[in-house]
A and B are shown apart, each in its own frame.
Chain A
Amino acid sequence: MRFLVAVKANADSEAGVLPDEKMLTEMTKFNEELVKAGVMLAGEGLQPSSKGVRVKFGPGNKKTVIDGPFAETKELIAGFWLWQCKSLDEAIEWLKRAPFGGGEEVEIRQVFEADDFGANLTPETRAREERIARQAAENAARL
């Protein structure tokens, strides 16, 4: 099973303060361990919300684009991993080894598999998702 491991934002990450050298070294080491154990599938750090936007939908057809930064730091994420683990407990044990210790909060969420949606995902929706996923893969391959 897979897990999204989301690192919550804090004042530093929102201010665009980059991790210091010690933190970077330790995080690189941790990521290496995850890769060596076949656990880490993907992982990225995110720019502060001041460089992001929110798009609000509706009611009706109305779409509003709101520029960052956003106030509630605890609701924002500063980075994420995608892990493959045998169980939630294993994901927890791995996360406990992460080199945090400055009041960070990290959330683990299990990823839905396509089958979990059952009949709600119609063949048409699936076909569209297929195109989207493929395009996303092609875009990623160009990076």
Chain B
Amino acid sequence: MSDVNRAIDAVWRIESPRLIAGLARITGDVGLAEDLAQDALVAALERWPQTGVPDNPGAWLMATAKHRAIDMHRRSKRIERKHEQIGHDLEAQQEMSVSDLDAALDDDIGDDLLRLMFTACHPVLSTEARVALTLRLLGGLTTDEIARAFVVPESTVAQRIVRAKRTLSEAHVPFEVPRGADRDARLSSVLGVLYLVFNEGYSATAGEDWTRPALCEDALRLGRVLAELAPNEPEVHGLVALMEIQASRLRARTGPSGEPILLLDQDRGKWDQLLIRRGLTALARAEQLGGARGPYALQAAIVACHARARTAAETDWERIVALYDALAELTPSPIVDLNRAVAVSMAYGPALGLELVDALRSEPALKSYHLLPSVRGDLLMKLGRLGEAQSEFEHAASLTRNSRERGLLLERARKSAAGAAPSRSH
């Protein structure tokens, strides 16, 4: 790629979310807004290699897209005049003059970005569509980048995005931040999408790599952006805290040859103190806003317990159990129960933990969840029941789709088997 093309690429990443958000407000259609923004990008790709990148590339792109929008507006007005049967309502709606349009585009863009986030995560869309649309419209990622991140064919992602835009348009989803109770539900969808993206980067569900740090960075960055757009929402800060602290451990989670390293075995010297500090600050902010008991703030408080412990042995497991208790009450889920069981085993011994895990074995939601046999194997190993531990690790290995994780689980199965075999010295 030439220098100019690389610069255009970078400008696009910086400017496209604001561009699309501004255009979506005036057109009321996210799909159309993206098309207009893309048109401006194409114009830049044609022009800038000759003229060089302008001093204010964002303004240039906005002006170009604006002209396209105005052209389109005029064209639609002409069509409208030809088809007066469309009705007076619509006509009144579109009475906006070109200068109004111009002024509307120069308004503060922050609210538009927030509207764009809420629209991209609208419940009318499937979860996959929300993820793809958010990364594309707000993260500035290309279809190809999204496809590689989620290990799916590019055409699948492209189709997902096209369909999502059509769905939004057909469902007449308004370009707005909802109010009242609706706002809470919709915000939780936005947070859910960001955390899903983060988690996919933090422990990839499929593929060769154990983690995909770039995806974590994308989610974290969008979370930080959201925290600026909605500074009074405690759960936004809770999620940011959770992601900052989790991300602080990213480089300690993988060994030299790409193998996973579990939390308690990690070299804490590799934990990123800057991210931990940012995470603790965000958590404090969530608590100040009265959100200490929100689901993300609780999870952040749990990871903060690990972040504050100088060594694995210093971890305050009793506090972690108490936080899981609160989380289980707030958002009952077998996965929370499983995590709580691990904390209980650390605080009060593996036998008690195993009791809780055994109670979860009939849970349908965990039937093919590899972490259930993995945790059970771990507890059995600690209790010296090595033969049973081995078969649990093997079962867990057969359930994971991540090859790195499979390797780790098979290794643990081998270790259990070696320990279970009668010792030769006897």
Contact = CB atoms under 8 A, between A and B. Distances in A.
A141 interface: yes
Among B256, B267, B310, the most chain A Cβ lie within 10 Å of the Cβ of B267
B276 interface: yes
Interface in B47-76: 57
Contact of B7 (A89, A113, A130): A89
A36 B225 CA distance: 5
B176 interface: no
A136 B274 CA distance: 10
B352 interface: no
Contacts of A137: 273, 276-277
A113 B54 CA distance: 34
A89 B277 contact: no
A123 B269 CA distance: 9
B10 interface: yes
Range of interface residues on A (Cβ < 8 Å): 20 to 34
A141 B280 CA distance: 10
A39 B267 CA distance: 27
B270 A114 contact: yes
Contacts of A118: 256
B217 A84 contact: yes
B221 A84 contact: yes
A14 B180 CA distance: 54
A66 interface: no
A128 B270 CA distance: 11
Contact of B9 (A84, A89, A123, A140): A89
Interface string A59-87: 00000000000000000000000101011
A93 B48 CA distance: 14
Interface string B304-319: 0000001000000000
Interface in A78-112: 82, 84, 86-87, 89-90, 92-94
Range of interface residues on B (Cβ < 8 Å): 20 to 34
A114 B14 CA distance: 28
A24 interface: no
A115 interface: yes
A129 B269 contact: yes
B347 interface: no
Contacts of A119: 256
Interface in B268-295: 268-271, 273-274, 276-278, 280
A42 B310 contact: no
Contact of B10 (A90, A127, A129): A90
Given A115-B251, A137-B276, A87 B221 contact: no
A126 B267 contact: yes
A45 to B, nearest CB: 18
B166 interface: no
A134 B13 contact: no
A87 B140 CA distance: 13
B225 A94 contact: no
Nearest to A93: B10
Given A38-B220, A38-B221, A114-B251, A130 B9 contact: no
B380 to A, nearest CB: 30
Contacts of A41: 274, 278
Contact of A36 (B110, B256, B276, B278): B110
Contacts of B229: 36
A37 interface: yes
Contacts of A129: 269
B7 A93 contact: yes
A90 B13 contact: yes
Contacts of A134: 273, 310
B277 A141 contact: yes
A123 B267 contact: yes
B116 to A, nearest CB: 14
B5 to A, nearest CB: 10
A35 interface: yes
Contacts of A15: none
Given A38-B221, A93-B10, A126 B270 contact: yes
B360 interface: no
Contacts of A115: 251
Interface string B137-159: 00010000000000000000000
A80 to B, nearest CB: 13
B247 to A, nearest CB: 10
A84 B270 CA distance: 18
A113 B273 CA distance: 13
A134 B310 CA distance: 8
Contacts of B408: none
Contacts of A23: none
Contacts of A90: 10, 13-14
19 contacts: A35-B228, A36-B229, A37-B14, A86-B140, A86-B217, A87-B9, A87-B10, A90-B14, A93-B7, A93-B11, A93-B14, A114-B270, A128-B269, A130-B268, A130-B269, A133-B271, A133-B273, A137-B273, A137-B277
Closest 8 CB pairs of A and B: A130-B269, A38-B224, A38-B221, A89-B10, A126-B269, A90-B10, A93-B10, A133-B273
